[in-house]
Amino acid sequence: MNPSPLSERASGVLLHPTSLPGPHGHGDLGPAAHRFAGFLASAGQSWWQMLPLGPPGAGNSPYDSPSTFAGSPGLVSLEQLAADGLLEPGEIAPTRGLQGKRARYGAAARYRLPRLEQAHDRFRVSAPKRDKRAFEAFREEQRSWLDDYALYQALKSAEGGAPWYEWQADLVARRPAALRRARRRLADGIAFQEFVQYQFDRQWRALQRRCRELGIRLLGDVPIYVAHDGADVWAHRELFHVDRAGRRRVVAGVPPDAFSATGQLWGNPLYRWSALDKSGYAWWIARLALTLSRFDAVRLDHFIGFRRYWEVKAGARTAQRGRFVQVPGERFLTAVESALHGLPFVAEDLGIMTDEVRTLRDRYGLPGMRVLQFAFDDAGPNDYQPHRYPRHAVAYTGTHDNDTAVGWFNERAPRGDRKRARELSERRRRVRDYLGSDGREIHWDMIRAALMSVAGTSVFPMQDLLGLGSAARMNTPGTSRDNWSWRVEQAALAPDVAERMAALCEIYERTPERGRSGR
């Protein structure tokens, strides 16, 4: 079994590529990504954590992708395509509408698509033979998922964006003759989708090589569930609780708790774990293997769902009425460990933990997550206080679902809500007392507390290194406006920020050299 890359004492930064600077509506895998890798190295960091890389789904969420295998076309750098001779510099001059400080996904997609098509046309006509051979090799290597994904996207475009379960019945049922006819009819659109995935792969591998040169490891993220309207469910309907027409029978959610009286209704189709088990978990293993070819370690989203999940009938308006269903987590992780020769995963074990989930996590030696913001809601001791962290854990000030450290600390109650105002005031007092802080640089005080803990790895949202407020929050769960759109400005990635972070990592033995010797 290979040793986990998370076994060394280290530090990292959480920043999704769409949050990078860049001229075309949101960040991508181009020059700004390579510059950010250099910033991380100068800051003494060992990890760059990202959100899922797939095509974004509803509300631009990377956690609701139409494919768990494909890379997002929006992350393909037009600048790099121009450097490769597939676009002219004048063809990628950005317009004013793409120059905002927030990601503009719609405008970016409208700008990028015709340029990707132009690059594809030029590639077909004039690419050197070695590049075409590399493209064919990529198609062959990734055929197990690429064929279905490219056809799905081409069909979806031809069907005016309609979900797959509203297509013609023979396509919904994936009758072989219908699929053959569709492949012939949509050959050009399929080839374009394959080309985009090839370019994503080339650009990702280049960024991956640069990170390795700098000593930066990459930490990815795998959502537990997949989008209903996506290539995975369409191509592998037998693995999901959907009927012959593609309709969901039951859906995923979270039961009512202290945060929501009606629970959370996610709506994703649920797995047929018996069918997955019968196949030896082949689909999951292929999914994780591809992700680990891109990343050095992976965060398993909603790890609780590998022990049990909350099942709600399709069509329900809330998640109040449902039931817990057990999952063969041990059989699943044993199969994955055998196939991948190790489990380089972080268990996202946030939420209502049970002894069963803890046992599953610990049996397979997976580090859990410790979020510092969760340490101060109550007066008594809890597992999120840094002095109680285990060595085998990943410490965070916050995640992509939290407010920034500054925004969280400065939270104010709604007008007239005296009870909440007292609670927040008391929380701020507990934070100041615990951290020995006056609150003026609460973000650095929280970073320092996580760095000095015994947790093997610590990771911080880029917003917290910069001390940004709530306007820089990445996502607010349960809402659909203004999420996933924060971007860092190039000028903010300044030497003084890197130097301060590097100095703290040196003190607490989290620089790459000190981290290895510290073990």
Pairing state between β 217-222 and 47-49: parallel
Position 223: which residue type?
A: P
Is 136 marked active-site? no
Q: Which of these, 181, 229, 182, 199, lies nearest to 77 by C-alpha position?
A: 199
H-type helices in 169-281, by residue range?
169-172, 176-185, 187-214, 231-235, 273-278
Please say whether the beta carbons of 398 and 37 come within 8 A.
Answer: no
SS3 assignment, position 421: helix
Is 348 marked active-site? yes
Is 301 marked active-site? yes
Tell how far CA 164 is from the center of its chain.
Answer: 24
Edge-to-edge strands, sheet with 297-300 = 345-347, 297-300, 217-222, 47-49, 10-14, 457-461, 393-396, 368-371
State the catalytic residue, choosing from 84, 131, 401, 423. Answer: 401
State the catalytic residue, choosing from 301, 403, 464, 509. Answer: 301
Please say whether the beta carbons of 373 and 398 come within 8 A.
Answer: yes
Tell how far CA 210 is from the center of its chain.
Answer: 20
Q: Which of these, 145, 125, 144, 142, lies nearest to 134 by C-alpha position?
A: 142
Position 159: which residue type?
A: E
DSSP state of 452: H
How far is 34 from 266, CA to CA, in rounded Å? Answer: 35
State the catalytic residue, choosing from 348, 445, 464, 509. Answer: 348
How far is 474 from 479, CA to CA, in rounded Å? Answer: 12
Measured torsion, CA atoms of residues 238, 243, 248, 254, in degrees rounded to the nearest 10: -60
User: How many C-beta atoms lie closer than 10 Å to residue 352's C-beta?
Assistant: 10
Which residue numbers are catalytic?
301, 348, 401
